[in-house]
Amino acid sequence: METKEIKFQGTVLAGIPMLLLTLALLFLAGPGLIAWGVLCEGDAATGLLIGAGAVVIICSFFLMAGFVKVEPGEARVMMFFGKYRGTFTQAGYYWVNPFINTKQLSLRARNLDAEPIKVNDKTGNPVMIGMVIVWKLKDTYKAMFEIDSQTMAGKDATGTVTQASIMRAFEQFVRIQSDAALRQVAGQYAYDLDENDPSEPTLRDASDEISRKLEEKIDERLAMAGIEVIEARINYLAYAPEIAAVMLRRQQATAIIAAREKIVEGAVSMVKMALDKLSSEKIVEMDDQRKAQLVSNLLVVLCGDDNAQPVVNTGAGN
Protein backbone atom coordinates (compact mmCIF):
# COMPACT_ATOMS: atom_id res chain seq x y z
CA MET A 1 0.00 0.00 0.00
CA GLU A 2 1.49 3.33 -1.10
CA THR A 3 1.63 5.69 1.86
CA LYS A 4 1.38 9.46 2.09
CA GLU A 5 2.09 9.52 5.79
CA ILE A 6 5.24 11.30 6.99
CA LYS A 7 6.91 11.43 10.37
CA PHE A 8 6.42 14.61 12.41
CA GLN A 9 9.66 16.61 12.40
CA GLY A 10 8.60 19.57 14.56
CA THR A 11 9.79 20.51 18.04
CA VAL A 12 8.91 17.89 20.64
CA LEU A 13 9.98 18.36 24.27
CA ALA A 14 9.71 16.06 27.26
CA GLY A 15 6.38 16.60 28.99
CA ILE A 16 7.34 16.36 32.66
CA PRO A 17 10.03 19.10 32.66
CA MET A 18 7.74 21.36 30.64
CA LEU A 19 4.92 20.69 33.08
CA LEU A 20 7.13 21.68 36.03
CA LEU A 21 8.22 24.83 34.17
CA THR A 22 4.62 25.75 33.39
CA LEU A 23 3.54 25.26 37.01
CA ALA A 24 6.49 27.34 38.19
CA LEU A 25 5.49 30.18 35.85
CA LEU A 26 1.84 29.95 36.83
CA PHE A 27 2.17 29.71 40.62
CA LEU A 28 5.58 31.24 41.35
CA ALA A 29 6.95 33.59 38.69
CA GLY A 30 3.69 35.27 37.70
CA PRO A 31 2.26 35.85 41.17
CA GLY A 32 5.74 36.77 42.44
CA LEU A 33 6.12 39.57 39.87
CA ILE A 34 2.63 40.87 40.64
CA ALA A 35 3.32 40.83 44.38
CA TRP A 36 6.66 42.60 43.84
CA GLY A 37 4.94 45.28 41.82
CA VAL A 38 2.31 45.78 44.55
CA LEU A 39 5.02 46.10 47.22
CA CYS A 40 6.83 48.69 45.13
CA GLU A 41 3.78 50.96 45.09
CA GLY A 42 4.65 54.41 43.89
CA ASP A 43 7.75 53.22 42.10
CA ALA A 44 8.04 53.72 38.35
CA ALA A 45 8.53 49.96 37.86
CA THR A 46 5.28 49.01 39.61
CA GLY A 47 3.15 48.92 36.49
CA LEU A 48 5.86 47.16 34.54
CA LEU A 49 6.21 44.43 37.17
CA ILE A 50 2.46 43.85 37.44
CA GLY A 51 2.15 43.74 33.64
CA ALA A 52 5.03 41.30 33.37
CA GLY A 53 3.44 39.05 36.00
CA ALA A 54 0.14 39.06 34.09
CA VAL A 55 1.94 38.22 30.85
CA VAL A 56 3.76 35.31 32.55
CA ILE A 57 0.47 33.88 33.84
CA ILE A 58 -1.16 34.21 30.42
CA CYS A 59 1.85 32.52 28.79
CA SER A 60 1.67 29.65 31.28
CA PHE A 61 -1.97 29.01 30.29
CA PHE A 62 -0.88 29.12 26.65
CA LEU A 63 1.89 26.57 27.34
CA MET A 64 -0.65 24.18 28.88
CA ALA A 65 -2.31 23.74 25.49
CA GLY A 66 0.80 22.06 24.10
CA PHE A 67 0.84 18.91 26.23
CA VAL A 68 0.23 15.66 24.33
CA LYS A 69 -0.10 12.12 25.68
CA VAL A 70 0.43 9.25 23.24
CA GLU A 71 -0.30 5.67 24.32
CA PRO A 72 1.13 2.54 22.63
CA GLY A 73 -0.85 1.76 19.50
CA GLU A 74 -2.02 5.36 19.06
CA ALA A 75 -1.02 8.18 16.74
CA ARG A 76 -1.38 11.96 16.64
CA VAL A 77 -1.95 13.67 13.31
CA MET A 78 -0.26 17.10 13.52
CA MET A 79 -1.75 20.08 11.63
CA PHE A 80 -0.42 23.62 11.70
CA PHE A 81 -3.08 26.13 10.61
CA GLY A 82 -4.71 23.51 8.37
CA LYS A 83 -1.46 22.14 6.90
CA TYR A 84 -0.44 18.55 7.53
CA ARG A 85 2.93 18.49 9.31
CA GLY A 86 3.28 14.77 9.98
CA THR A 87 2.18 11.94 12.27
CA PHE A 88 3.61 11.36 15.73
CA THR A 89 3.47 7.79 17.10
CA GLN A 90 6.11 7.66 19.86
CA ALA A 91 4.42 6.68 23.11
CA GLY A 92 4.88 9.00 26.08
CA TYR A 93 4.04 12.43 27.50
CA TYR A 94 5.32 15.37 25.42
CA TRP A 95 5.00 19.07 24.76
CA VAL A 96 4.63 20.48 21.24
CA ASN A 97 3.85 23.88 19.73
CA PRO A 98 0.44 24.90 21.16
CA PHE A 99 -0.58 26.26 17.73
CA ILE A 100 -0.41 22.73 16.33
CA ASN A 101 -3.81 21.04 16.20
CA THR A 102 -3.64 17.29 16.90
CA LYS A 103 -6.08 14.54 15.94
CA GLN A 104 -5.88 11.35 17.96
CA LEU A 105 -6.23 8.02 16.12
CA SER A 106 -5.96 4.39 17.16
CA LEU A 107 -3.60 2.07 15.26
CA ARG A 108 -4.72 -1.05 17.12
CA ALA A 109 -6.33 -3.99 15.31
CA ARG A 110 -10.13 -4.10 15.41
CA ASN A 111 -12.75 -6.77 14.75
CA LEU A 112 -15.82 -6.29 12.59
CA ASP A 113 -18.46 -9.02 12.80
CA ALA A 114 -20.64 -8.22 9.78
CA GLU A 115 -24.28 -9.26 9.96
CA PRO A 116 -25.29 -11.92 7.39
CA ILE A 117 -26.57 -10.43 4.13
CA LYS A 118 -28.58 -12.00 1.31
CA VAL A 119 -26.68 -12.50 -1.95
CA ASN A 120 -27.16 -14.59 -5.09
CA ASP A 121 -24.56 -17.26 -5.71
CA LYS A 122 -23.20 -18.22 -9.12
CA THR A 123 -26.26 -20.35 -9.91
CA GLY A 124 -28.69 -17.63 -8.84
CA ASN A 125 -29.73 -19.20 -5.54
CA PRO A 126 -30.23 -16.70 -2.69
CA VAL A 127 -27.95 -17.42 0.26
CA MET A 128 -27.30 -15.75 3.60
CA ILE A 129 -23.61 -15.07 4.14
CA GLY A 130 -21.72 -13.26 6.89
CA MET A 131 -18.07 -12.59 7.63
CA VAL A 132 -15.62 -11.37 10.24
CA ILE A 133 -12.86 -8.87 9.42
CA VAL A 134 -9.74 -7.89 11.35
CA TRP A 135 -8.52 -4.44 10.27
CA LYS A 136 -6.42 -1.51 11.42
CA LEU A 137 -5.27 1.93 10.26
CA LYS A 138 -2.11 1.85 8.18
CA ASP A 139 -1.87 5.37 6.70
CA THR A 140 -3.12 8.18 8.94
CA TYR A 141 -2.87 10.78 6.15
CA LYS A 142 -5.27 8.90 3.88
CA ALA A 143 -7.54 8.08 6.81
CA MET A 144 -7.91 11.75 7.76
CA PHE A 145 -7.74 13.54 4.40
CA GLU A 146 -8.52 11.11 1.55
CA ILE A 147 -12.03 10.35 2.89
CA ASP A 148 -14.37 12.68 4.75
CA SER A 149 -13.90 10.90 8.07
CA GLN A 150 -14.39 13.97 10.27
CA THR A 151 -17.75 14.84 8.73
CA MET A 152 -18.88 11.22 8.95
CA ALA A 153 -17.83 11.12 12.59
CA GLY A 154 -19.92 14.14 13.60
CA LYS A 155 -19.48 16.16 16.76
CA ASP A 156 -20.32 15.44 20.37
CA ALA A 157 -22.25 17.64 22.78
CA THR A 158 -19.24 19.92 23.23
CA GLY A 159 -18.91 20.50 19.47
CA THR A 160 -15.65 18.53 19.07
CA VAL A 161 -14.79 15.45 17.02
CA THR A 162 -13.54 12.73 19.38
CA GLN A 163 -11.31 9.75 18.68
CA ALA A 164 -14.18 7.34 19.38
CA SER A 165 -16.48 9.03 16.85
CA ILE A 166 -13.75 9.04 14.18
CA MET A 167 -13.04 5.34 14.70
CA ARG A 168 -16.78 4.58 14.50
CA ALA A 169 -16.82 6.42 11.16
CA PHE A 170 -13.95 4.24 9.93
CA GLU A 171 -15.80 1.12 11.11
CA GLN A 172 -18.91 2.16 9.19
CA PHE A 173 -16.77 2.78 6.09
CA VAL A 174 -15.21 -0.68 6.45
CA ARG A 175 -18.65 -2.27 6.91
CA ILE A 176 -20.11 -0.75 3.73
CA GLN A 177 -17.10 -1.50 1.54
CA SER A 178 -16.74 -5.05 2.86
CA ASP A 179 -20.42 -5.78 2.15
CA ALA A 180 -19.89 -4.70 -1.46
CA ALA A 181 -16.78 -6.89 -1.76
CA LEU A 182 -18.59 -9.85 -0.20
CA ARG A 183 -21.42 -9.60 -2.74
CA GLN A 184 -18.91 -9.49 -5.56
CA VAL A 185 -16.92 -12.53 -4.37
CA ALA A 186 -19.93 -14.65 -3.35
CA GLY A 187 -21.48 -14.19 -6.80
CA GLN A 188 -18.49 -15.99 -8.37
CA TYR A 189 -19.11 -19.31 -6.57
CA ALA A 190 -21.98 -21.75 -6.22
CA TYR A 191 -23.22 -22.63 -2.74
CA ASP A 192 -22.81 -26.38 -3.23
CA LEU A 193 -21.20 -28.82 -5.67
CA ASP A 194 -22.32 -28.65 -9.29
CA GLU A 195 -23.21 -32.10 -10.64
CA ASN A 196 -21.92 -31.08 -14.08
CA ASP A 197 -18.56 -29.88 -12.71
CA PRO A 198 -17.80 -31.47 -9.30
CA SER A 199 -14.23 -30.09 -9.32
CA GLU A 200 -15.37 -26.45 -9.28
CA PRO A 201 -14.77 -24.72 -5.89
CA THR A 202 -17.87 -23.76 -3.91
CA LEU A 203 -18.74 -21.52 -0.98
CA ARG A 204 -18.98 -24.54 1.31
CA ASP A 205 -15.69 -26.31 0.59
CA ALA A 206 -13.29 -23.61 -0.72
CA SER A 207 -13.09 -21.47 2.42
CA ASP A 208 -9.35 -20.76 2.13
CA GLU A 209 -9.55 -19.65 -1.50
CA ILE A 210 -12.64 -17.51 -0.85
CA SER A 211 -11.08 -15.92 2.24
CA ARG A 212 -7.96 -15.02 0.27
CA LYS A 213 -9.95 -13.50 -2.59
CA LEU A 214 -12.28 -11.70 -0.16
CA GLU A 215 -9.30 -10.21 1.66
CA GLU A 216 -7.83 -8.97 -1.64
CA LYS A 217 -11.09 -7.35 -2.75
CA ILE A 218 -11.66 -5.61 0.58
CA ASP A 219 -8.04 -4.43 0.65
CA GLU A 220 -8.49 -2.85 -2.79
CA ARG A 221 -11.58 -0.96 -1.64
CA LEU A 222 -10.10 0.21 1.68
CA ALA A 223 -6.71 1.29 0.30
CA MET A 224 -8.09 4.77 -0.41
CA ALA A 225 -8.81 5.19 3.31
CA GLY A 226 -5.39 3.97 4.50
CA ILE A 227 -6.94 0.88 6.12
CA GLU A 228 -5.23 -2.52 6.07
CA VAL A 229 -7.16 -5.79 6.23
CA ILE A 230 -5.34 -8.34 8.38
CA GLU A 231 -7.86 -11.15 7.89
CA ALA A 232 -11.27 -11.63 6.26
CA ARG A 233 -13.15 -14.89 6.67
CA ILE A 234 -16.72 -16.15 6.15
CA ASN A 235 -18.28 -17.12 9.49
CA TYR A 236 -21.90 -17.75 8.45
CA LEU A 237 -23.30 -19.51 5.37
CA ALA A 238 -26.81 -20.82 4.76
CA TYR A 239 -29.52 -20.86 2.14
CA ALA A 240 -32.01 -18.00 2.32
CA PRO A 241 -35.22 -18.93 4.25
CA GLU A 242 -37.41 -18.99 1.13
CA ILE A 243 -35.48 -21.89 -0.43
CA ALA A 244 -33.91 -23.50 2.64
CA ALA A 245 -36.58 -26.22 2.98
CA VAL A 246 -36.38 -27.19 -0.71
CA MET A 247 -32.58 -27.31 -0.66
CA LEU A 248 -32.64 -29.37 2.53
CA ARG A 249 -34.82 -31.99 0.84
CA ARG A 250 -32.48 -31.94 -2.15
CA GLN A 251 -29.46 -32.51 0.09
CA GLN A 252 -31.27 -35.32 1.89
CA ALA A 253 -32.18 -36.96 -1.42
CA THR A 254 -28.59 -36.69 -2.60
CA ALA A 255 -27.37 -38.26 0.62
CA ILE A 256 -29.93 -41.10 0.38
CA ILE A 257 -28.94 -41.84 -3.22
CA ALA A 258 -25.26 -41.91 -2.30
CA ALA A 259 -25.98 -44.24 0.63
CA ARG A 260 -28.09 -46.55 -1.57
CA GLU A 261 -25.27 -46.74 -4.11
CA LYS A 262 -22.89 -47.89 -1.38
CA ILE A 263 -25.41 -50.42 -0.07
CA VAL A 264 -26.05 -51.89 -3.52
CA GLU A 265 -22.35 -52.01 -4.29
CA GLY A 266 -21.69 -53.88 -1.06
CA ALA A 267 -24.66 -56.19 -1.53
CA VAL A 268 -23.58 -57.22 -5.02
CA SER A 269 -20.09 -57.92 -3.71
CA MET A 270 -21.47 -60.08 -0.88
CA VAL A 271 -23.79 -62.03 -3.22
CA LYS A 272 -20.89 -62.75 -5.57
CA MET A 273 -18.78 -63.89 -2.65
CA ALA A 274 -21.58 -66.19 -1.43
CA LEU A 275 -22.05 -67.79 -4.85
CA ASP A 276 -18.30 -68.27 -5.33
CA LYS A 277 -18.00 -69.80 -1.83
CA LEU A 278 -20.88 -72.22 -2.39
CA SER A 279 -19.47 -73.24 -5.76
CA SER A 280 -15.83 -73.62 -4.69
CA GLU A 281 -16.58 -75.68 -1.59
CA LYS A 282 -19.29 -77.71 -3.41
CA ILE A 283 -21.77 -77.21 -0.60
CA VAL A 284 -24.75 -77.38 -2.95
CA GLU A 285 -25.27 -77.71 -6.67
CA MET A 286 -27.56 -75.03 -8.08
CA ASP A 287 -28.88 -74.43 -11.55
CA ASP A 288 -29.34 -70.93 -13.00
CA GLN A 289 -32.91 -70.64 -11.75
CA ARG A 290 -31.98 -71.41 -8.14
CA LYS A 291 -28.98 -69.07 -8.38
CA ALA A 292 -31.26 -66.29 -9.58
CA GLN A 293 -33.67 -66.96 -6.71
CA LEU A 294 -30.78 -66.93 -4.21
CA VAL A 295 -29.46 -63.67 -5.64
CA SER A 296 -32.92 -62.11 -5.41
CA ASN A 297 -33.39 -63.19 -1.79
CA LEU A 298 -29.93 -61.98 -0.74
CA LEU A 299 -30.39 -58.59 -2.40
CA VAL A 300 -33.76 -58.14 -0.66
CA VAL A 301 -32.20 -58.97 2.70
CA LEU A 302 -29.07 -56.86 2.22
CA CYS A 303 -30.71 -53.82 0.59
CA GLY A 304 -33.93 -53.70 2.58
CA ASP A 305 -34.53 -51.10 5.30
CA ASP A 306 -36.27 -53.57 7.65
CA ASN A 307 -34.91 -56.72 9.17
CA ALA A 308 -35.64 -59.84 7.13
CA GLN A 309 -38.30 -62.25 8.47
CA PRO A 310 -37.21 -65.81 7.66
CA VAL A 311 -39.85 -68.26 6.46
CA VAL A 312 -39.17 -71.93 7.23
CA ASN A 313 -40.45 -74.34 4.63
CA THR A 314 -41.66 -77.47 6.50
CA GLY A 315 -42.90 -79.22 3.43
CA ALA A 316 -46.39 -79.91 2.10
CA GLY A 317 -49.06 -80.69 4.67
CA ASN A 318 -51.28 -83.79 4.65
pLDDT in tens, 234-249: 999 988 888 767 767 7
Shared-domain flag, residues 264 and 294? yes
Shared-domain flag, residues 225 and 125? yes
Please check whether residue 308 lies inside any domain of the structure. no
Shared-domain flag, residues 89 and 126? no
In angstroms, rounded to a whole number, what is the distance separating the alpha carbons of residues 25 and 40? 21
User: Per DSSP, what are the bridge partners of residue 239?
Assistant: 127
Comparing CA positions, the residue from 129, 126, 123, 125 lying closest to residue 196 is 123
Among 186, 218, 239, identify where a domain stops.
Answer: 239
CATH number of the domain to which 135 belongs: 3.30.479.30
Please check whether residue 310 lies inside any domain of the structure. no
Shared-domain flag, residues 136 and 226? yes
Please check whether residue 99 lies inside any domain of the structure. yes
Please check whether residue 7 lies inside any domain of the structure. no
Shared-domain flag, residues 235 and 250? no
In angstroms, rounded to a whole number, what is the distance separating the alpha carbons of residues 76 and 88? 5
Shared-domain flag, residues 115 and 176? yes
Q: What's the total number of domains in the chain?
A: 3
Among 76, 103, 130, identify where a domain stops.
Answer: 103
Q: What is the pLDDT along the chain (318 residues), one digit of tens a residue?
A: 567 889 999 999 999 999 999 999 999 998 998 888 888 776 667 888 888 999 999 999 999 999 999 999 999 999 999 899 999 999 999 999 999 999 999 999 999 998 899 999 888 889 999 999 999 999 999 999 988 877 777 666 666 778 888 888 999 999 999 999 999 999 999 888 766 666 788 888 888 899 999 999 999 999 999 999 999 999 999 888 887 677 677 677 777 777 778 877 887 888 788 777 777 776 767 777 777 777 777 777 767 666 656 665 555 544
Shared-domain flag, residues 118 and 194? yes
Shared-domain flag, residues 136 and 212? yes
Contact 235, 267 (CB under 8 A): no
Q: Which helix (H) or strand (E) segment is 213 a member of?
A: helix 207-222
Instruction: Give the number of C-alpha atoms closer than 13 A to the C-alpha of residue 116, restricted to the C-beta side.
Output: 13
Please check whether residue 316 lies inside any domain of the structure. no
Please check whether residue 125 lies inside any domain of the structure. yes
* CB contact set of 67 (below 8 Å; sequence gap of 6+): 15, 18, 19, 93, 94, 95
In angstroms, rounded to a whole number, what is the distance separating the alpha carbons of residues 117 and 175? 12
Amino acid letter, 20: L
Shared-domain flag, residues 286 and 199? no
Among 103, 118, 143, identify where a domain stops.
Answer: 103
pLDDT digits (tens, 9 = 90+) for 99-141: 999 999 999 999 999 889 999 988 888 999 999 999 999 999 9
Shared-domain flag, residues 93 and 141? no
DSSP 305: S
Shared-domain flag, residues 122 and 234? yes
Please check whether residue 144 lies inside any domain of the structure. yes
- Domain membership of residue 283 as a residue range: 245-303
Please check whether residue 213 lies inside any domain of the structure. yes
Shared-domain flag, residues 297 and 202? no
